[in-house]
Amino acid sequence: MTKARKHIDAYLEGWRLGDANMSLGATTPEFFYDDPNTGRIPRKDFLQFFEDFRSTVVDGRQAASGGPFLTYTDVVISEASVPPKAWCWWQATGTDFQGSALVYFGDDGVISEKIAYFSKLP
């Protein structure tokens, strides 16, 4: 397994488990997270963003869930591109809240993540 692959696997696993420190530990110093609701979050603000996001999702769960924080239904990783990238479809466990993420990473860690939310039309 390559260094880059270890970083993306740890980053995604941190999100899956709801472990902000695990995800942050897999990032580069220049890391940023792009959220359509809050804008660009630099690495220094990521832990607070993650915890706020997790709290909001947990508060919106329909029932208590003992499972992971996120469930991935699709993950596509391309190490052939420069920089390597991962795309995934995620759903917050126990909710209808879901979306897509595009994550750029490399040998030094995860560089950035951009997400989009999905919801049903009224």
**Please, what's the b/e burial string for 34-51 (b: 16 or more CB within 10 A of its CB; e: otherwise)?**
eeeeeeebebeebeeebe
Count of residues in the chain: 122
The phi, psi pair for 82, rounded to 5°, reads: -125, 115
Alpha-carbon gap, residue 41 to 112, rounded angstroms: 10
Q: What pLDDT, on a 0 to 100 scale, did the predictor assign at position 94?
A: 84
Instruction: Report CA torsion sign: 14, 67, 116, 51.
Output: negative
Q: Which of 18, 22, 8, 20 is nearest to 113 (CA)?
A: 8
User: Which are the contacts of 39, defined by CB distance < 8 A and separation ≥ 6?
Assistant: none
pLDDT truncated to tens, each residue of the chain (122 aa)?
899 999 999 999 999 999 999 999 999 999 999 999 999 999 999 999 999 998 888 776 655 556 799 999 999 999 999 999 999 999 998 888 899 999 999 999 999 999 999 976 55
Give yes or no for a contact between 26 and 110, defined as CB atoms under 8 angstroms apart.
Answer: yes
Q: What pLDDT, on a 0 to 100 scale, did the predictor assign at position 106?
A: 97
Q: What pLDDT, on a 0 to 100 scale, did the predictor assign at position 65?
A: 58
pTM metric for this prediction: 0.92
What domains, with CATH codes, occur in the chain?
3-118 (3.10.450.50)
Alpha-carbon gap, residue 42 to 49, rounded angstroms: 10
